[in-house]
Chain A
Amino acid sequence: MSFAWAKQYEPQTAVTKWLDEKLPLPRLVYNAVGAGYPVPRNLNYMWNFGVLAGFFLVVQIVTGVVLAMHYAANGLVAFATVEHIMRDVNYGWMLRYAHANGASFFFIVIYMHIFRGFFYSSYKAPREMIWLLGVVIFLLMMATAFMGYVLPWGQMSFWGAQVITGLFSAIPLVGEPLQVWLLGGFAPDNAALNRFFSLHFLLPFVIAGVVILHIWALHIPGSSNPTGVEVKQESDTVPFHPYYTAKDGFGLGVVLILFMTMVFFLPNALGHPDNYIEANPLSTPAHIVPEWYFWPFYAILRAFTGDLTIPFTGITLIPAKLLGVIAMFGSILLWFILPWLDKSPVRSGHYRPLFRKFFWFGLIPCMIALFICGGAPAEEPYVIISQIATAYYFLHFLVILPIVSQIEVPKPLPFSITDAVLGGDKPGSTSGGGAIPPESVVEGLPGTATDGSLQPAE
């Protein structure tokens, strides 16, 4: 793996030499996130979010392990132990608010990371495996976050558990036994709370494992970059350390300021007041909503209001509830085939005029509409908006993307990253660059051997 010009780790002291022979851990770190990992020199701030996501995974694990020292997963006392953490445990309020808002920030950075992937087509060959593992991480995160939200055992916890496990009851034949099996009872209670706690503790470590695979897979082709042109030469890259460690450090500072502002000044702004009411199986909140990061998918779930029937016969093929469940899971599962849906040889949205229009004026407004509708009550006009947006969501990925990638004429790509950085594609501005010799401008055509973009698969 890695590029021929990657720096090699050289142990400096007797101890590191000894360690390098027995357990080359420093070498691994050096090659993974150190000076031994050459990274395209033109990454923009959208490439900060991978490291940030890793940071928030650590935040969640550390605060979570600490909170678990004070929490008890029992329906009688769970709510009270959370209040015990908030009132009596030293810095308990800080740790719990950091954990609750940390989940939100984890999702914020993950969504930025995913949508960066959409825009720059980071999922394309040779990086399909990185993308697939990323989708797995996202699914695990959703499961973990859902189960974590149940633990405080407030009203939203309880009814969220009821509603989400209720999704599985839509499955024909096995649905209802499946829901009872998931809950270990007929309604959420101690059995459900205990298993959710157990899995909520376990899954983050599974996520950490898949993250390692994700990074491993990343290091085989190396990082993508905003031009989508593959690295060709040493001048295209800089070592990860110190260049991107410094940049990630700065990015981390900015995100930490936002994160801490939420933790210390608006800790409950992203939560729901009903979750400060203890779970009551006899009273449903007026308006059940999941946490904000599930809203788009919740909107897709609720968009299907009518059963799929054969007209004029009264025969129901698929009930609306099952349609919604299929669509909701399908909306994420389709990301698994995304690398094979988008056939364009050009990666970056910057060089794909038509794709870019659909991204900014189609997908992004569609996601915003789904987000708003998912958090809104199931009333008009939200229902109709969510139906239109859901339709667009599937059309975008399944229909528009394959067709656009077929008919689009991409803009000319720069010959190399160095050219793009030095403005080599703009005549008259090729001077400078100090130690890096200016490259000749080659107007590569997509699909040709020299343009550095994706080779046609078929």
Chain B
Amino acid sequence: MKRINFNTSLLMGVKQTMSIEKFIRNSVAGWMATHGEHSDIVMTTRIRLARNLTDYCFPIASTEEQALAVDKMVANALVEEGEKPSYSYMKMSSLPSLEREVLIEKHLISPQLADPKRHGAVMLSEDETVSVMVNEEDHIRIQCIYPGLQIEEAYKKADEVDDLLEKELPYAFDEQFGYLTSCPSNTGTGMRASVMMHLPALTITKQIDRIIPAISRLGMVVRGIYGEGSKALGNVYQVSNQVTLGKTESEILEDLGNITARLIVHERKAREVLLEKSRLALENRLFRSLGTLVYARLLQTGEAARCLSDVRLGIDLDIIQNVDVSILNELMIFMQPGFLQQYAGTELTQEERDIFRAKLFRERLHIDGIAPTSEKRTDE
């Protein structure tokens, strides 16, 4: 496999503490671990805080000099403040597009930040749970992702990083409107709290179509994590707060926690009903999906995501044994185009990606009693 060396430009006073290669090549992001409460349904918890510096125009209106100055200030504040500098600094303009894509697929940066013309940069914590984006839509975006349902814990961490930065940087804050952000939908707390949930039973039983509008009436939004709108790829949904003004951080977190708890109850109940009423049909579907992942020669993203969701459900319901959930988490990340090409060490066409994706699944799900013996011979 081809090894790639990355050159990252370093800011004055910012020490690179680890290789960027680690962030690119390590398929399992910190948040992809399989622990955390209700981790069979709630995959991750994410907190994002939007902050701006009072003395500079927001990125949409800033000049190149201003953007670079902001970049330098934030980088210095984060690195100098921490007792042990534990953040790696990466400038978007110095990363090849494939590597930027990989960081997006790991949810460590946003697609908007990845645009190399925008003077964006990111600082990543060693365990990949904290990323501080600079010159995204706002000057600073603090993001904290934890595995499972850990709303309080994730906020606590994001809040700590915020306090650390605030000591060094003059934030744009207003008595009436709170933290001032470029988009009025973030004004106030600047906080977006979200949970990523795997809701296959609610999707199979179509209950999700009734739940989504109900949740949106409570000031929360539900959307598919990879696709747009309610059509979620791999039955993975993101629930997040819509309102950022007029509620305290803890009120927002509590609302999100309550809605998540209700969704968990609904999903568990739907799973029970599915098992009770149509066990054979369910088993048939889940094993067929496992078969597809283990034997397919061409796998498109959509099909792979759907089958992964089925296999995950099979594991949760104890219908499918011998498959490790952590492999599924890894595959969820790995099956995306950017990662696949990184893994292949070269750029791939659409069809080549589907071939490579199928090969990857066969290799990774190569489990005794599941994979056929002939497969072993062709691979070796």
Q: Do A and B come from one complex?
A: no
On A, residues with C-beta under 8 Å from B are: none
Q: List residues of B whose CB falls within 8 A of some A CB.
A: none
